[in-house]
Amino acid sequence: MFWTAGQRYDAGYKESSFVWKHSAAGGSCCDGGACMSEMKYTYWSGGEPNNHAAYDAKMNRVSPVLPEKCLQLCRGWQYKWNDGYCEMPICSICEVDVNY
C-alpha cells in the first residue's frame, strides 16, 4: 500500500470531496485551499470512497470505525484508489519538480 497526495478537502470529520494536496511555491508546506487542486481524474476501486475504516494505526480492528480522509493505492486492488485512515503507517509516493 502507498499513500498519495490525495485527501478530503475537509480533513476533519466531515464528508467532503477529494483534492490533491501540494506544497507551496518553493517547496514549503502549507495548509488551506491554496495548497489544494481539484481532482480531474479518478480511479476509485468499486464502492470507494466509502469513509469506512475498521483498523487503527497499529492495524488493530476498531469499533466504531475511524474516518478515512486520505487516498491510498493497493496492489491487491490493482492499484485502484481507496480512501484510508490517514494515520495508518504505510509508505508515501512523493512527486518533486526538478528543473534542469
The reply to whether 98 falls in a domain is: no
Start-to-end C-alpha separation, the chain: 31
Distance CA 43, CA 80 (A): 6
The reply to whether 45 falls in a domain is: yes
The reply to whether 100 falls in a domain is: no
The reply to whether 99 falls in a domain is: no
Here the cell at position 3 is 499513500
Distance CA 2, CA 15 (A): 22
The reply to whether 16 falls in a domain is: yes
**CA-closest candidate to residue 46, choices 9, 81, 4:** 81
| Segments forming the whole domain that contains residue 78 | 2-92
What's the pLDDT tens digit per position in 27-40?
Answer: 555 655 568 888 88
Q: For the chain, what is the domain count?
A: 1
C-beta separation of 61 from 50 below 8 A? no
| Full-model pTM | 0.75
The reply to whether 65 falls in a domain is: yes
Question: What local confidence, expressed as pLDDT, does residue 71 receive?
Answer: 93
